[in-house]
Amino acid sequence: MINMTTIKKLWVGIGVLALLSPLGLILPSLFKAEGAWGEWSLKEVERIIKFAPQGMKRLAGIWKAPLPDYTVPGQRTGMVGESLGYLFAAIIGIALVAGIMYLLAKLLARRNGNE
């Protein structure tokens, strides 16, 4: 039996997590933490080791993401603006990930019925 109450409750949970997601920006800022180890930009690498690895220079900018680093176009500067942008990015990402996974799952389950 499909348990709608569980699914609804879980989505509420996801919603709460989405609303809290700006903590992922705010907490690092509060604690003066930089980015994750090994996720530096090409420029940051150059600053750290005083040269730009040739291969990294070639590949670093290879992909122009539509919403880079979880920012949305037109978001304001400052912690509030960035937090709102991050929140929108979270919502967009959740919707897309869930939608794609749902369709993929339906596709894969095609032959097994609804039992």
Partner 1 sequence: MHIPDGYLGPATYGTLFAITIPFWAAASMKLNRTLKSRQAPYLALGAAFSFVIMMFNIPIIGGTTGHATGATIIAILLGPWAAVIAVSVALIIQALLFGDGGITAIGANCFNMAIVGVFTGYGVYRLIGLRSGSLSKRRVLAGAIGAYVSLNASALAAAILFGIQPLLEKSSTGQPLYAPFPLSIAVPAMVLQHLFVFGFVEALITALVIQYFQKNDPDMLG
**Stretch 75-104 residues interacting with partner 1 (CB under 8 A):** 86, 89-90, 92-94, 96-102, 104
Residue 83 CB neighbour total at 10 angstroms: 19
Q: Which is nearer to partner 1, 84 or 92 (CB)?
A: 92
Site residues for partner 1, 4-23, by CB under 8 A, read 6-7, 9-11, 14, 17-18, 20-21, 23
**Residue 74 found at the interface with partner 1 (CB under 8 A):** no
Q: Which is nearer to partner 1, 64 or 78 (CB)?
A: 64
Q: Which is nearer to partner 1, 15 or 76 (CB)?
A: 15
b (16+ CB within 10 A) / e for 87-101: bbbbeeebeeeeeee
Rounded distance between C-alpha atoms, residue 39 and residue 33, angstroms? 13
| Smallest gap from residue 76 Cβ to partner 1 (A) | 19
Rounded distance between C-alpha atoms, residue 91 and residue 86, angstroms? 9
Site residues for partner 1, 31-70, by CB under 8 A, read 31-39, 41-42, 45, 49, 51, 53-70
